[in-house]
Amino acid sequence: MNAQGYKWVRWRAWLCHLMAVLSLGVLLIVFHWRPRLSLLARCRPCPLGLADFVLIRDSCGHYHVAEVLTEELEEGSLELLGDIEATEWRDTVQLYQDKKTLLRYYLFEGLRYIWLDRKAAFCLVSVLNEDWTCKDLHGFKNGLSHLEQNLRRQVYGPNVIDVPVKSYFQLLIEEVLNPFYFFQLFSMVLWTVDEYYYYSTSIFLISFFSIGISLYEIRKQRVILHNMARLVTNVTVIRKTGEQANVSSEELVPGDCICLPKDGQLMPCDAALLAGECLVNEGMLTGESVPVLKTPLLSSEKKYISDVDRKHTLFCGTQLIQAKGGGSGDVGAVAVVTGTGFFTAKGNLVSSILYPQPINFRFYRDAAKFLVILGFFAFIGTVYSFVILSHYNMSWFELVVRVLDIVTIVVPPALPTAITIGTIYAQHRLKKQGIFCISPPRINVCGKVSLFCFDKTGTLTEEGLDVWGVVEGGSAGFSDVVSDPSLLPPGPMISCMACCHTLVLLQGQPIGDPLELKMFKSTGWTLQESGEDGGALDAEFGGQRVLAVMRRPPRLLPFHATSTSEPVAIVQRFPFSSALQRMSVVTVACGGRSALAFMKGSPEMVASLCRQETVPPEFSKKLSSFSSEGLRVLALSYKPMDTSTDLSAAERGEVEKDMQFLGLLMMRNLVKPESAEVIRTLRLAKLRTVMVTGDNIRTAVSIAQRCGMVRADEGLIFVEATACTAQTTPTLRFTVEDREGTFVTAQGDFGYHLAISGSSFAALCNHFPEHLPKVLMRATVFARMAPDQKTQLVKEFQKLNYRVGMCGDGANDCGALRAADAGVSLSEAEASIASPFTSKTENISCVPLLIREGRCSLVTAFSLFRYMAVYSMIQFCSVLILYTVSTNLGDLQFFFTDVVLVTLLAIVMGKGGPSEKLSPCRPPANLFALPVLGSLFIHISVIILGQIVALFITKSQDWYIPLNSTIFGTANLPNMENTGIFSLSGFQYIFMAVVVTKGHPHKKLLYHNLIFLCLLFVQFAVMTCLVLYPGPFFRKIMQLYDFTDLNFKMLLVALAALNFLICFVVELLIDVGALKYLCCLCPKHPSKKKFKHLNSLLCDPSVPSWPPLNQTLYSSEYTAIGIN
């Protein structure tokens, strides 16, 4: 984001006021549309440090203006911040000679930017606390003083996510000043001046109701968002004096230490947990309704990052279910505020809704360019009209009105609204199917999706896992599989399964991660938490602070007969982290006699943290065997701990090293019955499918094979890349998965798939960027991918010009869902803000439905755009021809064609639903493609020719009476020329709606849209009656000439039928590719899409085969250039 400073110039401002008065307010409207021009006219450039206004250029190239505000800080308040922060905080102010301490800042999209002298720039206020370490956060445990809190509140602003709700009057003014409605208002004034009272009144009423509905919906959505975003509650804050104060959450600032009640509350800010444990429902942010356990942040020199330290961070807007272990009395936990207002996770999501990024979609860009082309035709029409009308004896005012009337005809005011009709219908159908959308323009984008990424667990496979079995392992090897873990003998293995989790009790029932819940229940142990008798439990376990106790039930089996049933207490938890791929706990036995640390996680990670002599020699082979069966495999380990130390303060790095390998836990994750059929449907539709998961690569491959992403006759190649270390250089290797021993890659037929892990993907991006695009072209399985890697993968696919869809459960996939062109979250929430689309369906069957609706909506938008363009050209030609012969269309004739015919047809044209089958071809999004421009050119040519023929046929009749050339316009009505042109053009409006309405293969055929079909028949019947038998009443009000020659009237109907037949046949020929033969005369241009070019390159037999199998490649960055 780029910012430039501007200083207010008084004489320029007064000059602008004068010009605004002289231009009757037109200058103010221009300034409203282009704030940058307003700033340039009233201000002069200056250094940012002296600016009164800031001109902001965002990443999309759009300009915004923000006013620089100042606020006087309390005298001497800076010294209260201490030596560490004084320098940084002094950068936020500017000291004037009068010794006043002023804070300079501006607000943009809800975020506060403050002036920093050291950086000579306005920076986000969050920069003041972005370098806080975990140790710094613990330093705030004693709280802030009143003066410190007041100063921070002045600098950071109030802790509120304020979504302004404007009054209906304010919204009306903004809506009317919109260029679209302003053009409509201009058109209505022009038509009224031109005495088209019926037509202008009807357009006014339509616009009035349209604006009314729009204002109601806008305000309704704003009120809903305002109520959802704004959260004000009372919070208990710890002061530096040691006392606790009850304050409004609006007064919270980063650094405040807050007490969290035991019975929970809605979090009004982002906070790092310092003491105690909290059970939190983060469904509002992630769409995942499973409660999450938050554990205290340990004091260290590590930089605190909320996304990395999610397991220790309470996010704004999430529901704190319960808090415990952090204090006495009603205090359940203690946390320090790290983010307020729009600088919270919730604020970030609300900001993304209020200020969405513009959608880079070709159809929308081309639509704007097409309006420029229509404007060019309008310019030609105005010049022609001026030349023709200047020969008549009319005033300059009347001449200008007539000429400007052409502009309102060529550029139809209803065009922007018309092309959104298909999207509105699609959104309504999706809602009925349980798919909710918070960004309607993305529905059209779904129609162009060419690649869809799927998460595995909970998306392709069932959410719940069943324990399949366990195997104990050690230096001697693995034991046999035990299918029921409760039958394991007492020892570290069963204790690890019973203790290594983050489950908590809620109303007497254990809740938490489904995997951990299944694992714990399979042991048969029971969970007890420290409550009111926490002191007794601490004493029972040697004085250690106990978080939870696992008790082994009595057994009746022989080998349990002599065993003790001693409970085990958890005194420290290190929650699971996707980046670390593991979790661990520290436990003690009764009396604190012994202590053990247990760890579980991905087998590769756990094995790397174990002493190598304890890992079975056949570890890799066994892991590969279980994973190939589609089992989710976890490794377990343990080690003794020193009981003389404070176990609750143990650091994670010390606990999770030199472990002893225990064994493997296998869990079966069944593929959802709908997954295979959906993947098959997408593959038949030439839509590429990719799996992106955090699971083991072998498990992921097995699931990919079972759901049809990788077929039995297709080969598999593993991509193995290593990063640079002190001893080794980066390497890249493509290893063949030889299932039958006879696998041969079919390069030309794409008969193979690549599978890559997260670590290899990172090494590939960093050290082998030249191979990355090719790997992305052929990779189908991405395993052990961290959440940020999923987001990066989506963006890398987009760099290859793919339109990327992403389907996940909304938890670890939030970043990828929001980065994708079409993100679908499988959630029970009606409108999860984790992604643009939310489906209540718990399987991926929503994906083909969404793509079909997207294609239908895009095709409808295309049809409506073409229809509105053709409609404007029909009327344009009619008016110019009638201008030439000294007449024009009447008031009710305009009303009849624009409202009764065109508007009604446009409204119901988009009502047809999507095709039941996904087609292998995608609909076009290019309005300037040869078939689109070619068809429009031919149709308009036939229409113009038809109207000219109708005029000449009329003039060639024996009974033809020439017009009075001394009178112009509607004063000449009724006349023969007008009635002939009006009769033919009325049929043209009707049959062109049939011609441009596309059906197969993306939309149901025309006869499925019964309302549209019935309307066509009714309009055709009415138009036929007006031509053949109008009757005295309709002939009078429509100002039609009374033709007595029935043969002539039948000839007009026949001409209209011939016109329809020609246009219909031309459209059919274009649909089957007739215009493509013209392309043979021109050199063929290669596709601009990178993935198509890469695919052609990889399939080219003349190019050396890729990938190089079973060869070790080295990074070009580390190529040896000489040897000494």
Strand partners, 196: none
Contact yes or no for 612/588 (Cβ under 8 A): no
Task: Please tell me which residue in 194, 405, 455, 695 is annotated as part of the active site.
Answer: 455
Phi and psi at 273, nearest 5°, equal -80, 125
Strand partners, 721: 732
Q: Collapsing DSSP states into helix, strand and coil, what is residue 782?
A: strand
What's the token pair of residue 681? 């449907």
Side chain identity at residue 307, one-letter code: D
Report strand pairing: 715-722 vs 752-757. Answer: parallel
Could you give the dihedral angle defined by the CA atoms of residues 146, 147, 153 and 155, in that order, rounded to the nearest 10 degrees? Answer: -160
Reported as half-sphere exposure (CB side, CA atoms, 13 A), residue 361 has a value of 22
Q: How far apart are CA 533 and CA 822, in angstroms?
A: 52
What's the token pair of residue 963? 């017009």
Q: How far apart are CA 951 and CA 985, in angstroms?
A: 12
Provide DSSP, 286-353: HS--S-EEE-PPPP-SSBP-TTTTGGGEEPTT-EEEEEESS-STTEEEEEEEEE-GGGSHHHHHHHHH
Instruction: State yes or no: is 480 an active-site residue.
Output: no
Place of tokens 């890469």: 1094
Outline where 232-288 has alpha helix (H). 283-286
228-231, Cβ contacts within 8 angstroms, sequence gap of 24 or more: 228/350, 229/161, 229/162, 229/163, 229/346, 229/347, 229/350, 230/160, 230/161, 230/162, 230/163, 231/161, 231/266, 231/268, 231/316, 231/317
What's the token pair of residue 572? 């420290």
The angle at the Cα of 192, spanning 190 to 198, to the nearest 5 degrees, equals 130
Report strand pairing: 234-238 vs 244-248. Answer: antiparallel
> What size, in residues, is the chain?
1124
DSSP element (H, E) containing 709:
none
The angle at the Cα of 488, spanning 484 to 489, to the nearest 5 degrees, equals 160
Contact yes or no for 745/766 (Cβ under 8 A): no
Contact yes or no for 627/669 (Cβ under 8 A): no
Q: Collapsing DSSP states into helix, strand and coil, what is residue 560?
A: helix
Contact yes or no for 860/422 (Cβ under 8 A): yes
Note the pLDDT of residue 1081.
Answer: 56
Closest CA to 299 of 533, 445, 134, 160: 134
Q: How far apart are CA 532 and CA 996, in angstroms?
A: 74
Note the pLDDT of residue 142.
Answer: 87
- 10-residue mean pLDDT profile of the chain (1124 residues): values are 88 91 87 88 90 87 88 59 43 47 86 86 88 90 86 89 86 78 80 80 79 81 82 89 88 91 88 89 69 86 85 88 76 89 86 76 81 86 87 80 84 75 89 87 91 88 83 89 88 91 84 86 86 71 83 59 66 83 90 88 91 91 85 91 82 89 89 91 93 85 89 87 80 74 40 89 90 93 87 92 87 79 77 72 91 93 90 92 88 88 89 89 85 89 94 91 79 89 94 88 88 94 92 90 91 94 90 65 68 84 80 70 42
Tell the burial category of 1094 from Cβ atoms under 10 Å away from its Cβ (0-12, 13-18, 19+): middle
What's the token pair of residue 142? 């004693």
Place of tokens 């895009």: 858
Q: How far apart are CA 115 and CA 838, in angstroms?
A: 40
Place of tokens 């890349």: 721
Note the pLDDT of residue 1118.
Answer: 57
Side chain identity at residue 570, one-letter code: I
DSSP element (H, E) containing 1120:
none
What's the token pair of residue 79? 């010294």
What's the token pair of residue 51? 């600016």
Q: How far apart are CA 1047 and CA 582, in angstroms?
A: 88
Phi and psi at 792, nearest 5°, equal -60, -40
